[in-house]
Amino acid sequence: MNAPTQMSGFTPADTRSINSFEELGGAVQGADIEVLQLGRGRLRGYLTHMSVGGMPFSVGSFSVGVRTRGVLSNDRVTIGMLTANTNRVTQWSREMHPADIVVIPPGDDHDARFHGGASYAVISLDQAEIDANLGTELRLGELGMGPKVHFRADSHGGPFVIRRLRDLVARLEDTRPRWNADAAAFWKRSIIEIMTTPLLSDQSADREGPLLSARRIVGKVEDYIEATGLRPVHISEICSEVHVSRRTLHRAFNDVIGIGPVAFLRCRRLCCVHSILHSSDPATTTIADVATDQGFLNLGRFSGYYHSLFDEYPSETLAHFDSATFRSKSFAELQRLSLDRG
């Protein structure tokens, strides 16, 4: 695919389908996101990236439950909106509903659990853009100066906000003629206005969120697991490293992620296998070796776990090495693909 052509401050939408949790790591432009599939089924969805007046703008959708965490931007304020969901969604253990937004200062972490399919929109702003577009609104002009925060959408206005956003994205995606700088600036302001609507409502904002102690435990565990790389990690090793009992660990994971630590570790090991098989040459890779390296000794049971999570067998994933392709689809087509089949 050729690189999009810049048009007076507007980069045409780059939309592609995704077919695995690994590809969801590119959900936000320039972000460093770790994704772990926890829901069962083949992940399907789409990602759309564009730039409007120099402002990165991403929308996307996916069909199964995942755990995502990481830094979205080191130098810009990130504003993310949940636009649809098929099951529960939490951000830093805060319950999220359609049209809710989260505001994340530069360098702060994103930490979410999607219990089913979902769709989203994300923009990122530097301080000059905040001052130019939001400076006259005291509450909005201070974006990114405090801690990460969740704003709840107005119960009546939320659906209208999402419809406006979807209409705008569809129009931007179908844009063909060249825009001048004034047009790009106008649409940039329109996007920012829609994405910050919940901040102007009377709904209170959650700054700390619940389950702070449990989130800290889970965060320490995930940081430790990430530092170990692809090697398997036993639950007793985690308890020893984090200095908590198995009972405390189990309660924290259930409160924050919705599954126990044993199931979480198994999903992580299965995701590691999937990532390795997905990027390995079938001529030089054996499924048995990869599974054993990740701590699965009973290959029959491993295959059952794998198929239950990804809706495909390990041999199918390995075979995709030569045949994996990305097909360009319209915004509407991909949205139906990811959510309607989730």
**Residue 335 CB-half CA count within 13 A:** 14
pLDDT (tens digit, 9 = 90+) per residue, 215-236?
Answer: 889 999 999 988 887 778 888 8
pLDDT of residue 4: 45
Alpha helix positions (H), 180-298: 181-195, 212-227, 235-242, 246-256, 261-278, 287-293
Specify the pLDDT at position 197. Answer: 85
pTM higher than 0.85, yes or no? no
Predicted local confidence at residue 325, as pLDDT = 38
Q: Span 142-155, mean pLDDT?
A: 76
Q: For strand 32-37 and strand 109-114, is the pairing parallel, antiparallel, or unpaired?
A: unpaired
pLDDT bucket at 329, cuts 50 / 70 / 90: very low
- As beta bridge partners, residue 58 has 49, 122
User: Which range among 52-61, 176-185, 293-302 shows the weakest confidence by mean pLDDT?
Assistant: 176-185
Residue 46: which of 74, 8, 75, 84 has the closest Cα? 84
Neighbours of 284 (CB within 10 A): 6
pLDDT of residue 202: 46
Length of the chain: 342
Q: CA-to-CA distance for 187 and 52, rounded, in angstroms? A: 7
Place of tokens 């972000």: 31
For the stretch 149-201, pLDDT in tens is 888 888 778 899 999 999 988 888 775 556 677 778 888 888 998 998 887 66
Please, what sign has the CA dihedral across residues 156, 153, 119, 121? positive
